[in-house]
């Protein structure tokens, strides 16, 4: 995403001396414009598995250093950085020897060549680089100033820059190229690498384990806990081409089981709700293994309880809730409505990871009034119209990923019974109406951004029917029904979710006489889902 900035010019004043009012106006206008440009000049790359791959930062190239002392530091800097990075398993150093020779022999000034985006893009594609190091050395009196740039190869973005100054001879003794001199350069490089908020990347995974590009040289040990995250955003300045912020979202944890020279194997302990550990995701934290010490039984019991609390739910959930909205009733001659409020309860049991059972109960009441469609006069004063519903079903989950709480859809079949009860009155043909029959349902759950998600659940009545107990309308020939819930949710605790949405219900009965009764409700419905 790039921002376009239009350049404006102001015609010169024909008056030689400018007034103080004009000067003050221009001063504030310039300051305001600068503030707007500074605050808005940030482009953002948004979360995706491709973003993790683009910023894997594994394959790295080292450009020959430029200096203003006849190439004194070219080989020295390359050798120092190559040897230092070779001991870090997260990096694979590519040999740019021939490419460096071609660049230094270019007709253009070498200092400009290594700043040219087109040259760097070609170099990155040829050697499949994720990033490269660019160093410039300036001799300034008795000192040498080293500027080390770490550049993202694909987008030519500056990941970070580090500057270090070295005396000649180094601190008054020895000469350039000593271990102390090399340490000054490698320490600057380590500070530069530390600016990136991750320590390594996932190189592969299966159902229960992952591999990461961290070996024994990193100090990682068996039993350590690795914390993983995915890149959510990478913000960079579109004019300066400098990365200004990294934003990551946690995806899970794993325990290290084996460490080799350049790779570590870890068993997945847990994954965040709606998230999955994938290749190229980042290792953002390494938690050292706690030494095993003897503890009393009380401490062990507490640890067991804490561990059990962190385990994912496996049985299902219960969900008490409320609803508030409107209820309406329509016949061939009359129409009525009222404010509806009530309570609901839901429960879901997981027989397997794919098969579930479901129970939903609703009860509410409305202050109902009715009028004649032809005369528009009120025919029924305020009366209580009670509403109750019972639904039970069995269904099947279709999981898009291996994560149970990840995106999924479902189908279900069940039985429902719904009743709308008004006081029986033959003058206005009111009474209790019951709808019942089988239904088919479909729905989906889509987690979005950390602990939030969207949900849609639709049930359609099939082979439905019902009764009008007073018999004012005659014999029923059949009925239709639909139940729709659309909303969102957020996880407030690992085993507790708050959900709110719009709940729409529609039930209708047709009669031999040609008459019909239609009842509808539309409500806002919050609930609290407690998982077991």
Boundary of a domain, candidates 150, 176, 193: 193
In a domain, 303, yes or no: no
- State whether 336 and 410 are in the same domain: yes
Using the CB atoms, write b or e for 208-243: b if 16+ within 10 Å. Answer: ebbbbbbbeebebeeebbbbbbbbbebebebeeeeb
Considering the domain boundaries, does residue 26 fall inside one? no
Q: What angle do CA 464, 470, 473 make, to 5 degrees?
A: 65
pLDDT digits (tens, 9 = 90+) for 113-160: 888 888 888 988 999 999 989 999 998 887 889 999 999 988 888 999
Higher-confidence residue of 186 and 24: namely 186
In this structure, what CATH number is given to the domain that contains residue 256?
Answer: 2.40.10.410
Query: What CATH number is attached to the domain comprising 518?
Result: 2.40.128.100
Q: How many CB atoms lie within 10 A of CB 321?
A: 18
Q: How far apart are CA 372 and CA 352, in angstroms?
A: 53
Question: Are both 416 and 345 inside the same structural domain?
Answer: yes
Q: Are residues 254 and 349 in the same domain?
A: no
CA distance 102 to 111: 14
> Do 469 and 331 share a structural domain?
yes
Kindly state whether residues 81 and 135 are assigned to the same domain: yes
Domain that holds residue 108: 58-193
Phi and psi at residue 29, in whole multiples of 5°?
Answer: -65, -45
Domain-located, residue 51? no
Residues 364, 412 share a domain: yes
Judge if the upstream peptide bond of residue 169 is cis by omega within 30 degrees of 0.
yes
Single residue among 287, 302, 330 that ends a domain in this structure: 287
Q: Do 239 and 346 have their domain in common?
A: no
Indicate which CATH number applies to the domain containing 185. Answer: 3.40.50.10610
Polymer length in residues for the chain: 532
> Is residue 8 in a domain?
no
In a domain, 47, yes or no: no
pLDDT of 10 strictly over 80:
no
Q: What is the number of domains present in the chain?
A: 3
pLDDT, tens digit (0-9, with 9 covering 90-100), for 216-232: 888 899 999 999 999 88
Render pLDDT for 358-404 as a digit per residue (tens, 0 to 9): 999 999 999 889 888 888 888 777 778 899 999 999 999 998 887 77
Tokens of 92: 């694979």
Same domain, 129 and 154: yes
Handedness of CA 43, 48, 49, 52 (dihedral sign): positive
Going from the C-alpha of 492 to that of each of 436, 495, 496, 531, the distances in angstroms are: 36, 8, 6, 12
Would you call 220 helix, strand, or coil by DSSP? coil
Residue 371, in any domain of the structure: yes
């Amino acid at each position: 995403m790039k921002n376009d900035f239009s350049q404006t010019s102001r015609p010169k004043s024909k008056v030689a001396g400018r007034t103080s009012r004009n000067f003050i106006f221009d001063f504030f206008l310039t300051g305001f414009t600068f503030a707007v440009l500074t605050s808005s000049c940030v482009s953002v790359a948004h979360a995706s598995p491709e973003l993790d791959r683009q910023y894997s930062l594994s394959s790295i190239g080292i450009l020959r250093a430029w200096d203003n002392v006849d190439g004194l530091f070219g080989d020295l800097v390359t050798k120092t950085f190559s040897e230092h990075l070779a001991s870090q398993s997260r990096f694979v150093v590519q040999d740019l020897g021939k490419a460096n020779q071609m660049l230094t022999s270019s007709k253009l000034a070498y200092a400009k060549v290594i700043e040219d985006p087109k040259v760097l893009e070609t170099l990155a594609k040829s050697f499949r680089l994720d990033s490269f190091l660019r160093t410039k050395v300036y001799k300034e009196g008795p000192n040498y100033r080293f500027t080390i740039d770490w550049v993202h190869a694909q987008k030519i973005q500056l990941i970070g820059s580090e500057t270090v100054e070295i005396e000649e001879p180094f601190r008054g003794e020895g000469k350039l190229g000593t271990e102390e001199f090399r340490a000054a350069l490698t320490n600057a490089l380590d500070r530069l690498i530390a600016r990136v908020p991750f320590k390594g990347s996932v190189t592969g995974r299966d159902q229960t384990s992952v591999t990461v590009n961290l070996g024994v040289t990193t100090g990682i040990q068996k039993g350590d806990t690795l914390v993983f995250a995915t890149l959510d955003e990478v913000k960079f300045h579109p004019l300066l081409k400098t990365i200004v912020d990294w934003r990551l979202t946690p995806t899970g944890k794993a325990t290290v089981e084996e460490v080799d020279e350049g790779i570590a194997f870890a068993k997945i302990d847990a994954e965040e709700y709606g998230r999955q550990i994938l290749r190229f995701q980042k290792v953002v934290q390494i938690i050292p293994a706690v030494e095993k010490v003897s503890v009393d039984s009380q401490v062990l019991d507490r640890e067991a309880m804490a561990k059990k609390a962190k385990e994912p739910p496996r049985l299902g959930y219960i969900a008490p809730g409320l609803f508030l909205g409107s209820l309406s009733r329509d016949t061939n001659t009359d129409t009525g409505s009222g404010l509806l409020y009530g309570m609901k309860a839901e429960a879901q049991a997981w027989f397997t990871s794919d098969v579930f059972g479901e129970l939903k109960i609703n009860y509410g009441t409305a202050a109902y009034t009715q009028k004649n469609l032809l005369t528009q006069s009120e025919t029924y004063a305020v009366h209580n119209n009670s509403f109750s519903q019972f639904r039970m079903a069995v269904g099947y989950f279709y999981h898009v990923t291996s994560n149970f709480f990840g995106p999924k859809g479902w189908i279900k079949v069940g039985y429902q019974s719904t009743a709308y009860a008004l006081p029986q009155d033959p003058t206005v043909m009111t009474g209790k109406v019951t709808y019942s029959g089988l239904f088919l349902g479909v729905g989906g759950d889509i987690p979005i951004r950390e602990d939030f998600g969207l949900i849609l659940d639709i049930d359609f009545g099939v082979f439905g029917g019902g009764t009008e107990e007073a018999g004012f309308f005659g014999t029923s020939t059949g009925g239709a029904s639909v139940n729709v819930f659309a909303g969102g949710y957020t996880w407030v605790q690992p085993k507790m979710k708050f959900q709110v949405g719009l709940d729409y219900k529609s039930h209708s009965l047709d009669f031999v006489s040609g008459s019909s009764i239609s009842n509808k409700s539309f409500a806002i419905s919050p609930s609290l889902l407690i998982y077991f």
